[in-house]
Amino acid sequence: MRNLNREFAAICRRAARKIVEQKLESVKITPENLGDFLGIPKFLETVTSYNDVGISTGLAWTENGGEVLAVEAIAVPGKGALTLTGKLGEVMKESAQAAFSYIRSKELAPVSYVNSHNFHVHIPEGAIPKDGPSAGVTMATALASLFTGRAVKKNVSMTGELTLTGRVLPIGGLKEKVIASFRDNINTVLFPKANLKELEEIPPEIRAKMRLHPVERMDEVLALALEPSAAPRKKAAAKKAVSKK
């Protein structure tokens, strides 16, 4: 509130100066001209969720509360290795390895494809340290999307620890994570069924506007998170390749 008062004081000083210098009777301040009084915005609104093929949206708990994070996965020519980047802790790196092993075990893509590519998983905004197992389902979803060519649905975020056999285990900070998703206008959240009891902690006015799906297994996550078919552009590219032949 103290900083807010300072901003209001700055607006009043600059408005008073404008009135005196330009001999105006009054000054009207609107969202459109606010920059003339306060300068360049200190905080820019960014879009965190842009789900697509190989891109999923996860939820993390930090010292500042819940945060929305993007997980990106791409394939490059190689021999089936996994690369991880971002400011990740050891637990999160292990979760990524477990997610990769699980997705490979499901044989979502031909073995020839997996063995002839390396896979790179990246979590942007590396200045924010991240650790914990709760991004396991998010990383597995990004990889499954990449393997199948099926885009991750828009407006979906998720959290949950993943085991090698596909079980989704409970996580901490569900309330803060759901609020973070709500704050970023992502209204569908997939979360571990074992955390159902914590839904009562979420403010009713927020809970009423969210679609909260409890899940027990990774198969349920993929059924809810992925589009039913491959991205149109990939289908078109495949048809074009066939026509050339």
Query: Do 188 and 101 fall into the same domain?
Result: yes
Same domain, 16 and 113: no
Q: How far apart are CA 9 and CA 27, in angstroms?
A: 15
To the query of whether residue 134 is one of the catalytic residues in this protein, the response is yes
Question: What value does the mean pLDDT of the chain take?
Answer: 87
pLDDT digits (tens, 9 = 90+) for 48-74: 568 999 999 999 887 778 889 899 999
Q: Is the dihedral of CA 230, 235, 236, 238 positive or negative?
A: positive
Q: Please tell me which residue in 49, 56, 130, 177 is annotated as part of the active site.
A: 177
Does residue 237 fall inside a structural domain? no
Q: What is the pLDDT of residues 78-125, one digit of tens each?
A: 999 999 998 788 888 999 999 999 999 999 999 999 999 999 999 886
* Per-residue pLDDT at 241: 43
Provide the domain count of the chain. 2
Query: How many Cα neighbours within 13 Å face the side chain of 208?
Result: 3
146 and 93 both lie in a single domain: yes
Please tell me which residue in 134, 145, 157, 181 is annotated as part of the active site: 134
Residues 29 and 136 in one domain: no
Q: Which domain holds residue 212?
A: 55-229
103 within some domain: yes
Q: Looking at the domain assignment, is residue 235 inside a domain? A: no
Read off the CATH number of the domain in which 151 is found: 3.30.230.10
Same domain, residue pair 104 and 217: yes
Mark whether 144 and 114 lie in a shared domain.
Answer: yes
pLDDT reported for residue 239: 44
Same domain, 77 and 122: yes
Please check whether residue 157 is in contact with residue 190, taking contact to mean a CB–CB distance below 8 angstroms. yes
Nearest-angstrom CA–CA distance, 84 and 63: 23
191 occurs within a structural domain: yes
State the pLDDT at residue 232: 53
* 222-233 mean pLDDT: 81
Over residues 185-207, mean pLDDT: 95
Does some domain include residue 245?
no
- Shared domain for 29 and 139, answered yes or no, is no
Name, of 10-14, 48-52, 126-130, the range with top average pLDDT. 10-14
**How confident is the model at residue 126, as a pLDDT?**
52
For residues 19 and 85, membership in a common domain is answered with: no
Rounded mean pLDDT, 156-185: 95
Name, in order, each residue with C-beta under 8 angstroms of 198's C-beta and a sequence gap of 6 or more: 174, 175
pLDDT band at 231; cut points 50, 70, 90: low
Mean pLDDT of 196-200: 95
Q: Catalytic: 145?
A: no
Does 19 or 127 have the greater pLDDT score? Answer: 19
In a domain, 49, yes or no: no
Same domain, 19 and 65: no
Percentage of the chain exceeding pLDDT 70: 88
**CA distance linking residue 47 with residue 111, whole number of Å:** 35
123, 33: one domain: no
pTM over 0.85: no
175 found inside a domain: yes
Q: What is the pLDDT of residue 131?
A: 63
Sorted by sequence, the CB contacts under 8 Å of residue 78 that are 6+ apart come out as 116, 117, 118
Residue 34 confidence (pLDDT) above 60: yes
Structure tokens at 55: 């891109």
- Does 222 fall in a domain? yes
Residue 128: pLDDT over 60: no
196 and 112 in a common domain: yes
| pLDDT value at residue 44 | 59
CA distance 203 to 231: 37
Residue 156's alpha-carbon distances to 127, 141, 183, 235, in angstroms, are 24, 11, 13, 24
